[in-house]
């Protein structure tokens, strides 16, 4: 148990190390020389860490962006009573969660080896959070469930999910990447599928966001970095203006965060930091994918013939960077809509976690654009915010109220919201 916990924490719990080990094994199985093995392993780890650095820059900007708009719309922190909380839950069930994650990954490998679904899920951090959230759902359903049942069910369920999820998305992903060597292994899969079908139904694929024709004097908007910066700068500045007009104590406290720097100037800097974060993420993706895909051939030919790595959602961003922004814009509009609707009609204060909304709606935007162009990307983003808003309300109100609703406020996301009622229904049959 101790050894497996160590492996789960220090290998599967560290996505960069997991990626590096996969590259190391893949290159070793191909009998590459020592120089190539070292270079490939280290570059893949560094590339993945660069993605984390870029994500950190994005989060730094959203840390200002989210409370600014929350104050504009008068949102208050959601309060709960009589729940375990993340710290207490992990203290009691953390070892079961990490064990389930480890065994689930082994089941994923077995299914990839002996079925037609040749996908190996490598997004380690999402493996942890999905397992944790679904454990919270099970414990809320039956607080007296045994650790044996919890471990057994989660291991089998997660192993199947990590195998089936990439398989469901792959036919759509192939049309975006024009290749079949990588897959999407991320909890944005559901909104990617929804966005793809919505784009086909309501959009116009002939008006591809990546092929927008513009006058030479507006050619700068074809640079995704510039478009990202301008879009976020607009949202930041509008939010800053509304915050200034509100003139409440909380609004003034947020405005004071810029220190001696004018808040509008500070907002512009934060928007450009956000754009810089996206650029860093894309660079990291190119770096580690460039090492992972060739190395993965070793695993595919030796351990799991024809296997494909299922990877984090930023792998799709490079194929349609304009769609990434349109997807996020659609989800931002949707988030405003749903926080007003849920607050008015069911009395729930939706907390629009911009980190989840960005990465999920950006992914959905790429898929929506492929089938429905500009309109498809925007609609896919809006639908993403719908899944996240309604899902957050249902999750916290019905599915893990007594366990980790605090974690669900920021860590639960699209696939988890869809899986929760399924897990609750299945487990209730055995308890």
Alpha-carbon gap, residue 336 to 316, rounded angstroms: 26
**Beta strands 119-121 and 183-184: pairing type?**
unpaired
Mean pLDDT for the stretch of residues 65-77? 73
Amino acid 426: pLDDT: 94
Work out the pLDDT band at 155, boundaries 50, 70, 90: very high
What local confidence, expressed as pLDDT, does residue 291 receive?
Answer: 81
Cα–Cα distance between 372 and 190 in angstroms, integer? 17
Instruction: Please give the mean pLDDT across all residues of the chain.
Output: 86
More confident residue, 228 or 44: 44
Of 330, 312, 316, 325, nearest to 384 (Cα)?
A: 330
Q: Are 303 and 29 in contact (CB under 8 A)?
A: yes
Q: How confident is the model at residue 197 (pLDDT cuts 50, 70, 90)?
A: very high
DSSP string, 320-376: -HHHHHHHHHHHHHHHHHHHHHHHHHT-------HHHHHHHHHHHHHHHHHHHHHHH
Mean pLDDT calculated for residue range 7-21: 73
Mean pLDDT confidence for 298-303: 69
Q: Does residue 274 contact residue 229 with C-beta atoms inside 8 Å?
A: yes
Report the percent of the chain where pLDDT is more than 70: 91
Buried b / exposed e along 293-302 (16+ C-beta atoms within 10 A): bbbbbbbbee
Pick from 184-188, 209-213, 222-226 the range whose average pLDDT is largest.
184-188
Rounded-to-integer distance, Cα 75 and Cα 69, Å = 9
What's the confidence (pLDDT) of residue 72?
79
pLDDT band at 134 (very low <50, low <70, confident <90, very high): very high
Maximum C-alpha span of the chain: 66
Higher-pLDDT residue of 302 and 402 is: 402
Q: Left, alpha or beta for 74 (phi > 0: left; psi -120 to 50: alpha)? A: left
Query: Which residue from 132, 165, 188 is spatially nearest to 359, judged by alpha carbons?
Result: 188
pTM of the model: 0.77
Report the C-alpha gap between 155 and 161 in whole angstroms: 10
- What is the per-residue pLDDT across 347-396, written as a single tens digit (0 to 9) for each? 777 777 777 888 999 999 999 999 999 999 999 999 999 999 999 999 98
pLDDT for residue 188 is more than 90: yes
3-state SS of 121-133 is ECCHHHHHHHHHH
Nearest to 97 by CA among 32, 151, 137: 151
- pLDDT tens for 317-361 read 889 988 988 998 899 899 889 988 987 788 777 777 777 888 999
């Amino acid at each position: 148990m101790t050894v497996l916990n160590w492996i789960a924490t220090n290998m599967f719990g560290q996505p960069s190390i997991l990626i590096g080990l996969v590259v190391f094994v893949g290159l070793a199985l191909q009998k590459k020389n020592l120089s190539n093995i070292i270079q490939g392993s280290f570059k893949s780890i560094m590339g993945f860490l660069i993605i984390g650095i870029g994500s950190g820059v994005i989060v730094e900007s959203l840390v200002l962006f989210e409370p600014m708009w929350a104050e504009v719309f008068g949102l208050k922190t959601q309060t709960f009573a009589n729940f375990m909380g993340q710290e207490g839950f992990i203290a009691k069930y953390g070892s079961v969660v990490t064990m389930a994650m480890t065994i689930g990954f082994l089941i994923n490998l077995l299914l990839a080896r002996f079925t037609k679904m040749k996908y190996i899920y490598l997004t380690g951090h999402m493996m942890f959070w999905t397992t944790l959230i679904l454990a919270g759902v099970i414990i809320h359903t039956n607080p007296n469930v045994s650790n044996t049942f919890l471990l057994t069910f989660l291991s089998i369920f997660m192993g199947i999910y990590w195998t089936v999820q990439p398989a469901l998305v792959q036919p759509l992903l192939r049309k975006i990447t024009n290749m079949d060597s990588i897959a999407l292994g991320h909890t944005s899969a559901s909104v990617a599928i929804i966005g793809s079908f919505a784009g086909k139904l309501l959009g116009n694929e002939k008006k591809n966001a990546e092929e927008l024709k513009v006058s030479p004097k507006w050619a700068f908007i074809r640079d995704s970095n510039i478009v990202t910066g301008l879009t976020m700068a607009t949202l930041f500045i509008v939010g800053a203006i509304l915050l200034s007009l509100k003139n409440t104590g909380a609004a003034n406290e947020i405005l004071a965060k810029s220190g001696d720097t004018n808040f509008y100037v500070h907002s512009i800097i934060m928007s450009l930091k956000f754009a810089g974060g996206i650029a860093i993420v894309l660079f990291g993706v190119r770096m580690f994918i460039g090492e992972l895909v060739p190395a993965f051939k070793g695993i595919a030919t030796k351990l799991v013939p024809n296997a494909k790595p299922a990877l984090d959602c930023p792998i799709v961003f490079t194929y349609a960077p304009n769609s990434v922004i349109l997807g996020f814009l659609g989800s931002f509009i949707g988030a405003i809509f749903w926080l007003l609707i849920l607050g008015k009609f069911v009395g729930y204060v939706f907390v629009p976690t911009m980190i989840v909304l960005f990465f999920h709606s950006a992914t959905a935007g790429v898929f929506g654009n492929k089938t429905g162009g500009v309109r498809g990307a925007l609609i896919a983003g809006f639908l993403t915010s719908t899944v996240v808003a309604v899902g957050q309300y249902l999750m916290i109100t019905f599915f893990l109220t007594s366990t980790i609703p605090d974690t669900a406020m920021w860590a639960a996301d699209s696939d988890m919201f869809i899986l929760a009622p399924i897990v609750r229904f299945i487990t209730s049959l055995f308890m």
